[in-house]
Amino acid sequence: MAQPYRTFSAFADGQIFRNKFENGWLGVGALFMGDEAGSGVLRSAKAYGSVAYHQLLGNSSLLGAGFNMGWSDKRIDVSKLKFPDQFDGNFFDGKLPTSVVLDNTSVQYFDLQAGINYAYFPKEDIYFQFGFSLHHINRPKESFFSNSEIDSRIPDRKIAFASGILKLNSSWIFSPSAYFTSQSGAREFSFGVMCNRDLSGDGSLQLLAGLYTRVGDAVIPSLGLQFNTTSICLTYDATISGLSNFNGRQGATEISIIRKSDYPVSPGRQALCPSF
């Protein structure tokens, strides 16, 4: 029986040099992600670091630009693969010899991304942001073969997004968002909304509920709770396209735990964000 994909990630980001720049600051971040495809045939590990500069424009706008760089490592377990010449007429016999020979069972490369972001917050209960980023700027090579005639460089990937935070009243905050990406002719568009419902009256306990869709492919409901600055959320990616015939109509489950920290309010340096 086929095994599901398993992915885990951890990330953190924060501000530094808040008092070194006129109405601006640096943001730094780090990300680690591990992925295991199926029964462990393909494993990958990625570690990235990012730096961005943010500059307030007047009292209601913020412009940010930065870059992200990191190292990727991918490994393949050939013993768990089956090739066409190992088919004995009835089954794929892994003990039969194969003419397929990988030049390498692991590949590593440096990866580079860059992006820009603009935020607009005219009032304390309204916040909008828009951004664009370009991934794999250096187009690293990713292949287990050494054949130089094959272009194994990763195509650049373009990502654009828009999101907002709207505080409707003392009990509800709505956060709509949309995301679009394209790479080598493949495209993906998703959008949805996350809602925060204040259950305690002071924002210390909130119900999180959201619904997203990946157009033409999946519906993604989300449900969770936020305790003060820590939120725990369960998300289920339910396939509704023809791919459901191949994944047994089983979607993907994601559990996220996020902790936010408060920064002291500095006059002229605060980007207003709706909150309870």
Dist CA 11 CA 57 (whole Å):
28
The two tokens of residue 38 are: 């199926």
Which residue has better confidence, 245 or 129?
129
Q: Residue 49 is encoded by which pair of tokens?
A: 């670091």
- Beta-bridged to residue 141, according to DSSP, are 153
| Higher pLDDT among residues 263 and 45, named by residue | 45
DSSP conformation class of 243 = G
Average pLDDT in the chain: 88
For residue 242, the SS3 value is helix
- List the chain domain ranges: 1-78+109-138, 155-276
Check residue 146 and give its pLDDT: 79
**Looking at residue 234, what is its pLDDT?**
96
Given a cut of 80, is residue 91 above it in pLDDT?
no
Q: Give the strand pairing for 218-227 and 24-37.
A: unpaired
pTM: 0.84
Q: Is residue 94 very low, low, confident or very high in pLDDT (cuts 50, 70, 90)?
A: low
Q: Residue 94, by phi and psi: left (phi above 0), alpha (psi -120 to 50) or beta?
A: alpha
- Over the stretch 135-185, which tens digit does the pLDDT of each residue have? 999 999 998 887 767 788 999 999 999 999 999 999 999 999 999 999 999
Give the pLDDT band (50/70/90) at residue 103.
Answer: confident
230 pLDDT above the threshold of 60: yes
